[in-house]
Structure 1
């Protein structure tokens, strides 16, 4: 701990595990140093982090379901908007719907956050929300922006033709700047509408003397420190060197004592390789997609551990699969030979932390870009979840499993990531900031 002061750090993750878990990793180091970490959680997550030694404060949505599945239900009710091969169409429709929902929730959360900040009196606030609440950015406290999506959105290069438009899964190798321009224009309506609503909310809720200082364009970055999570191999060289107040991190994996024992009969290694089907929040919301993948892989000779979320009946799993709604993610990852995922940044990062090859089936937003980077950097295979044939998926599984050069490369990458002490680097920076 800093010799001069025990800090109180307020952490405000979005209400999904893909955002909570990386902040948990950062919090581990801060608590180890003797600092107090307080998480602000949607009421459905109450008690989930207190057991790890963190304090909790809670906010309640106007239409709260009382459990941690609010976002999953929202996505599930609109999953048909993801079931297309057109990434632009997905962003225009589903992205607009989710953005509107986020802005509407601000009116409910804003007074709750102001009360929490006054009550907790933090020295620093750490937030991973893409759209920042006025309660945070006008609090008078140093605030840190952390970014757990893919880095294209962090680098914010909608107008930078060196990099593709975020959210579309475009190749960085095409050099097709006209395509990048065209796709940026096609998304302008979505972004302009969302940014306009956000800026109106800022003007209505920030103190009058600070209105001119805050907008979407300024709040997306913190003037203090901006952190994004991305494995070195998946980042975009064209975005570097980074400004002094920006930091890329790889290893902020949370520490838990959770264990996982491979159940009988899947613990018999003679039955094939062990593969993790990690569908994640967005995959859970598309039963059509999830059922199709499960049914295809049931025909292979391999064994599967499945994280299937709240909407799938585990009794439908075939004999070569075992699954639960939620699994101890990192414990499972350490045991498997391959990960099949929709490509959330946290799952990708944790998979590479353990040196596991990937097959990515992207459904929405940053998953398209992550899948493309995995593919073009040779760390796995990208398949369109609504276009691949049974044979293509099964062939991809066997091809990746049998790629010995890839396994050697991933082993080296995993070893490097595990040796990286990014949590210490972040904690040092926070202590110096105060």
Structure 2
């Protein structure tokens, strides 16, 4: 079979971007040409990994530095809302986020046809939460990647996306869905008007995307999957059991205190690092404990001038190379961090702030792979208790070891590359 050109179009966030890079690395190993369609602020990221990248305008024109900082500024402006429950975030963070996402789809529709005609892909993989009509209409198969929580594809029997609800709390499910639909209705009406202008049928209230009729790839692994009323069945839906990218090796530095103690990794992602007050509070608490600690502080390293001897901070860590070396991860619930911990068999304490972090925090505790901890209403006593359980509970360690064996046997990036290769090598089958 002749090599094909496969385009990846991830959301303008590091989680989806790095997940797509992991799949793209495996696709390139099969000999296919990989190109990225990218928010202009992320072009350099894909180029750093050796991939060709083409900017697509997802907003009004702005300076490159301003564009790169857009989501960082957006998140930092909502830090006061991070202490609220998922339900109470609907009419502030969630509404504002969906407004920005809808705007991005409108801007993309003006630019995508030109970019697609320029690169002429044979297959397009989209990792986003909203439909870009130009991709659906281009004339080649398109694949949807769900790198967020699995409940991004809704089902009446599971918690609604972004809700952080427990699996069995159906009353909370209904309450969240009703409030979400109430708040989001004006935005949704506007989006449906946009779809009509692009020649697409309207979506039901609350829905901004659809599943691909060709192939949908989900990162969630079997041990944490939801029990759906309507299971997502192969071959239209395939679970990748995680999708860990290849990164440069990492050598653990020397600590001037507790250098032989268990190693903890703390990361709230590049955007969550803006909550400097929380990270400093965590560092102060961890300074009193007999552990070594690595902390990802993102672009705010200059704000950490005095550090305890058992703590080392940096602006960035090659996370898939770091997590195998640590004993426990404290993170924000982003799906890459969530699945990488499971892949390497590491317990997690999730302190979510927004989006699917709430869902993943609930799920890690429901399935016995770690704990959820409210990022503002926590005590050192609760933190110590959860850390000791994660590090020393044989039940948690046994479950994590089994989950890790299962996921590593699947090799998510290679599985995704094989499925994409098979889709290209046969006549395209549309399942709906």
Same fold (TM over 0.5): yes
Structure 1 residue 6: Cα displacement: 1.4
Cα pair 1:303 1:320 within 8 Å, conserved = yes
Distance in 2 separating the partners of 1:31 and 1:243: 27
Corresponding position of 1:292: 281
Corresponding position of 1:242: 232
Q: 1:6 to 1:316 in 2, by over 3 A?
A: same
Q: 1:217 to 1:364 in 2, by over 3 A?
A: closer
Structure 1 residue 233: Cα displacement: 1.6
Matched, 1:23 2:20: yes
Name the SS for the 1:247 alignment partner.
strand
Q: Output aligned runs, 1:360-375, within 5 Å.
A: 360-375=350-365
Distance in 2 separating the partners of 1:8 and 1:427: 13
Structure 1 residue 240: Cα displacement: 5.5
Q: TM-score, normalised by structure 1?
A: 0.90
How far does the alpha carbon of each residue in 1:259-318 deviate from its partner, in whole angstroms, 9 at most, with x for none? 222222269643x21000011144213223222222222221111011111135232433
How far does the alpha carbon of each residue in 1:46-67 deviate from its partner, in whole angstroms, 9 at most, with x for none? 3332343421112344235436
Corresponding position of 1:252: 243
Cα pair 1:283 1:290 within 8 Å, conserved = no
Q: How many residues in Structure 1 have an aligned counterpart in Structure 2?
A: 418
Cα pair 1:10 1:40 within 8 Å, conserved = yes
RMSD: 2.2
Distance in 2 separating the partners of 1:114 and 1:202: 15
Corresponding position of 1:278: 267
Distance in 2 separating the partners of 1:166 and 1:212: 23
Corresponding position of 2:338: 348
Structure 1 residue 334: Cα displacement: 1.4
Structure 1 residue 90: Cα displacement: 1.1
Name the SS for the 1:238 alignment partner.
coil
Distance in 2 separating the partners of 1:379 and 1:388: 20
Distance in 2 separating the partners of 1:93 and 1:360: 22
Name the SS for the 1:141 alignment partner.
coil
Q: Output aligned runs, 1:20-419, within 5 Å.
A: 20-60=17-57, 61=59, 62-66=61-65, 68-84=68-84, 86-154=85-153, 156-157=154-155, 160=156, 162-173=157-168, 176-204=169-197, 206=198, 210-212=199-201, 217=207, 219-239=209-229, 241-244=231-234, 245-256=236-247, 258-265=248-255, 269-270=259-260, 272-312=261-301, 313-419=303-409
Distance in 2 separating the partners of 1:200 and 1:357: 45
Structure 1 residue 130: Cα displacement: 0.5
Structure 1 residue 144: Cα displacement: 0.7
Cα pair 2:256 2:309 within 8 Å, conserved = no
Name the SS for the 2:246 alignment partner.
coil
Q: TM-score, normalised by structure 2?
A: 0.90
Structure 1 residue 131: Cα displacement: 0.6
Structure 1 residue 149: Cα displacement: 0.8
- Decide which moves more: 213-222 or 119-128: 213-222
Structure 1 residue 28: Cα displacement: 1.4
How far does the alpha carbon of each residue in 1:141-164 deviate from its partner, in whole angstroms, 9 at most, with x for none? 21111111111122x13xx1x222
Runs (4+) of structure 1 moved beyond 6 Å? 213-216
Distance in 1 separating the partners of 2:230 and 2:414: 23
Name the SS for the 2:44 alignment partner.
coil
Q: 1:222 to 1:358 in 2, by over 3 A?
A: same
Distance in 2 separating the partners of 1:283 and 1:218: 25
Cα pair 1:337 1:401 within 8 Å, conserved = yes
Structure 1 gap ranges (5+): none
Q: 1:267 to 1:64 in 2, by over 3 A?
A: farther
Cα pair 1:266 1:303 within 8 Å, conserved = no
Name the SS for the 1:334 alignment partner.
helix
Distance in 2 separating the partners of 1:68 and 1:254: 23
Cα pair 1:282 1:363 within 8 Å, conserved = no
Name the SS for the 2:145 alignment partner.
strand
Structure 1 residue 218: Cα displacement: 8.0
Name the SS for the 1:315 alignment partner.
coil
Name the SS for the 2:377 alignment partner.
coil
Cα pair 1:297 1:394 within 8 Å, conserved = no
